[in-house]
Structure 1
Amino acid sequence: MGSPSSPVLLLSFVVSAAVIWYAGIKLSDTTDVLAERLHLGGALGGLILLAVATNLPEIAITVSAALAGQLDVAVGNILGGIAIQTVVLAVLDAAGTRPRAPLTRVAASLQLVLEGALVVVVLAVVVMGTQLSPGLHVGRLAPASAAIAALWVVGLVLLNRAGHGLPWREGGDAPDSQPEPRGHSRGKKEKAAADKGVHTGRAGLIFGTAALATLVAGVVIERSGEDFFARQGLSGVLFGATVLAAATSLPEVSTGLTSTKLGDHQLAISDIFGGNAFLPVLFLLATVISGKPVLPAAHDTDIYLTALGIILTVTYMAGLVFRPRRQYARMGIDSVTAVVIYLVGIAGLATIAT
């Protein structure tokens, strides 16, 4: 049988994106409900559950690519998503409901700076791992992917401790940041679900259904999108770093918009940083599935995107420290800078990809 026509591919891509968006909203809501009712809250279990839930499209694509032996696709999918997921913060900055102030000003806290630092450290290890020999592995484990997973777990432990208080004035929060504590939106979502009569079993069923829909849509959107946009002359690298990355970032957008709407600006930034720190952990999953180290299969474009992700993360870390006051096009100067850096970065990526 021949490959589907371009209109069919485009329709599959659009429908899959819509499924990811809708399922992302349900995942966000039910994750918070389950975290509250199972008393996970901001503990390690809650952090891990949310990281997995919002990155299900990337998990699906990574598993599919690893099973097919397409290690370069797995690497490109993981690293291509980090840069654009960071730029999602600019979308939240422009669209968020809050007092007229930049997102990083109302959300500033030392804990968020630490979360950004975890992203930078993990991505630095990714760059180091790309330079190791492909033959350096024991069984189905490679040192770089194992080190990334270990660093992520250690980072979560430290962040969990930081969440219980830091030896700083105001507990690490800026003196005039958001009035309610971080994570308060989760309690509001749980109360709204309880008022509607949504019991824990039903919430778990919705979560599982939304997760399955997201996994399937993640594979379909990658397959259909790559074929369609290749026919339009867009290289696989540029497609993965832009169109596919944007589509698979829809759960982060929906989750972030919900958090900012409820005034939980710190949680919105935390979800983005947390997801970006988790994505490289998928290299361990891809290595176990394929039986070969994944990072040595990285291309120059993948290393380039990793560096771009580091620069964008540091941009927002600086915003959290300096807390800009003025807005431009409804965004703080850090968001404006991040958008410019991303666009320039993608233009540079095009010169490498071609």
Structure 2
Amino acid sequence: MFQSLSLWPLLGLFLIAAGAIWVAGVKLSNTTDILSQRLGLGQALGGVILLAIATNLPEIAIVASAAAADDLGVAVGNILGGIGIQTLVLVALDAFGMKERAPLTYRAASLTLVIEGLLVVAVLVVAVMGTQLPGSLIYARIGPDALLIALIWIVGVWMIGRANKGLPWHDDAGDAPDTQPHPKGHSRAGTEQAASARGISTTRAAIVFLVAAIVTLVAGVVLERAGDGIAEQIGMSGVLFGATVLAAATSLPELSTGLTATRSGDYQLAISDIFGGNAFLPVLFLLATLISGHAVLPQAQHSDIYLAGLAILLTSVYLAGLIFRPRRRVLGMGIDSLAVLVFYALGMAGLFAITLAG
């Protein structure tokens, strides 16, 4: 059906699907907060996994759809490009979401966030290593690289949960001085309290969650298929389209919820949600492998490895910002955010050069 459409109808479908993902993604985030609070999941492993799946449903739908169509270039590009784009969301939060004249990383500095960022780096390093394995190294539709990424993610989430309960430091919470006065996640509790004040029951929240999840999954498939048609008609490679336009469209809910968190003074949660989503995205390589029946990472292009390196670089800049806590703001943002913005722009220029050379 999508292949028979011209460019303008495809663009219309793409924009409608992106809008649906924006609205449904916000509903998913809000209802996830409500359900996590009422079911007592909180920062526990189950709560983190529920949040990671809910906030990445667009990417799950796109990867599943692309893998089913054996279009692994779009799947890999969306995963690795999505990490870069979602890291760039922190630049927007730093520039437009801060209520006070201090950089985001200065007010959010926490050892727990450093651990979360290191988990992003760890899964990306394994993904890069997996690209060098032979494609025949697969058994029962599972590759060792994708399986190892999933296991590292689970162990990492467990470690983060332990860190949230306390660390063997002078400040057992691992927070730097002069950070946010309220504990991480206080805005989620506020979301649940506001829902209770409006009389929203747990059953109603669960129904909204399910409906929003279905809308997100359907919109994600439409976004991928329409985007594939658009890329083909404008002569753009699937990897480049997936890493830029498609990844940006699926990052809209993270931008909206991140702005809500920063404006509520929950700076740690804003960064934690981005790092948490980025750490989960490479787990989708296991999903793509199961659906396609092929080892996905060994088929990665040079551009895919390049995008993984760019994502590691951007994450490392913010890790340095969380540790050194620069107070100076340039162009309305922290120095680390400005560096990420410059590195991303240079990275995209390099990606264009790679695709043109290919």
Paired position in structure 1 for 2:238? 236
Residue 256 of structure 1, aligned match among 245, 255, 258: 258
Is the CA contact 1:152–1:277 (under 8 Å) kept in the aligned structure 2?
Answer: yes
Is 1:280 the counterpart of 2:282 in the alignment?
yes
Query: Quick check: 1:51 aligned with 2:58?
Result: no
Q: Tell me, yes or no, if the aligned pair for 1:229 and 1:239 is still in contact at 8 Å.
A: yes
Corresponding position: 1:222 with 2:224: yes
Q: Distance in 2 between matches of 1:225 and 1:158?
A: 37
Q: What TM-score do you get using the length of structure 2 for normalisation?
A: 0.96
Q: SS of the residue aligned with 1:88?
A: helix
The alignment partner of 2:141 has SS state of coil
Q: Within 5 Å, which residues of 2 pair with 1:161-200?
A: 161-171=162-172, 172-200=174-202
- Tell me how far apart the structure 2 counterparts of residues 29 and 296 of structure 1 sit (CA, whole Å): 38
TM-score (norm 1): 0.97
C-alpha contact 2:65 2:224 (8 A) present in aligned 1: no
Structure-1 residue corresponding to 2:248: 246
Report the CA distance between 1:212 and its aligned residue: 0.9
Whole-Å separation in 2 of the counterparts to 1:53 and 1:321: 29
Q: What code does the residue aligned with 1:222 have?
A: E
> Cα offset for 1:141?
1.4
Residue in 1 that maps onto 2:105: 104
Q: 1:75–1:297: 8 Å Cα contact kept in structure 2?
A: no
What is the Cα deviation at residue 283 of structure 1? Answer: 0.8
Describe the SS at the equivalent of 1:135.
coil
Aligned residues: 354
1:19 aligns with 20
The more displaced of 60-69 and 275-284 is 60-69
Tell me, yes or no, if the aligned pair for 1:76 and 1:298 is still in contact at 8 Å. Answer: no
Aligned to 1:91: 92
CA positional deviation for 1:178? 0.2
Tell me how far 1:228 sits from its aligned partner. 2.3
Aligned position for 1:314: 316
Q: CA deviation at 1:229?
A: 4.1
- Flag as ranges the 4+ runs of structure 1 deviating above 6 A: none
* CA distance in 2: counterparts of 1:128 and 1:254, whole angstroms: 34
CA distance in 2, matches of 1:326, 1:69: 48
Where do 1:208-219 residues align within 5 Å?
A: 208-219=210-221
For residue 101 of structure 1, report the CA deviation from its aligned partner.
Answer: 0.6
1:227 positional shift: 2.0
Task: Write the distance in 1 (CA, Å) between the matches of 2:26 and 2:140.
Answer: 39
| Structure 2 residue identity aligned to 1:345 | G
Secondary structure of 1:255 counterpart: helix
Distance of 2:200 and 2:43 partners within structure 1? 22
Deviation track 1:18-47 (CA, whole Å, cap 9, x = no partner) reads 111111111111000000000000111111
Partner Cα separation in structure 2 for residue 139 and residue 291 of structure 1: 8
Shift in Å at residue 346 of structure 1? 0.5
Q: Match of 2:294?
A: 292
Q: Partner of 2:7 in structure 1? A: 6
- 2:48 counterpart letter in structure 1: L
| Bigger Cα displacement from structure 2, 1-10 vs 172-181 | 1-10
Counterpart-to-counterpart distance in 1, 2:306 and 2:27: 34
Cα deviation code 1:191-241 (max 9, x no counterpart): 000000000000001111111111111111122123224433433222111
Structure 2 Cα separation of the partners of residues 325 and 32 of structure 1:
31
d(CA) in 1 for partners of 2:336, 2:232: 34
Identity %: 62
Q: Is the partner of 2:171 in helix, strand or coil?
A: helix
One-letter code aligned to 1:332:
G
1:56-95 to 2 correspondences below 5 Å: 56-95=57-96
Give the stretch that moved more between structures: 129-138 or 219-228.
219-228
Residue pair 1:112, 1:266 contacting (<8 A) in 2 also: yes
**Paired residues for 1:305-344 under 5 Å:** 305-344=307-346
Structure 1: segments with no counterpart, 5+ residues: none
Q: How far apart, in 2, do the equivalents of 1:31 and 1:316 lie?
A: 26
Shift of 1:286: 1.3
Letter in structure 2 aligned against 1:16: A
CA distance in 1, matches of 2:101, 2:9: 43
Q: Which amino acid aligns with 2:203?
A: G
Which amino acid is the alignment partner of residue 123 of structure 1? L
In the aligned structure 1, how far is the partner of 2:232 from the partner of 2:68? 22
Which string of whole-angstrom CA distances, capped at 9 and with x for unpartnered residues, describes residues 152-185 of structure 1?
A: 0010111110000111122210111000000111
C-alpha distance in 2 between matches for 1:228 and 1:139? 34
Q: Secondary structure at the match of 2:200?
A: coil
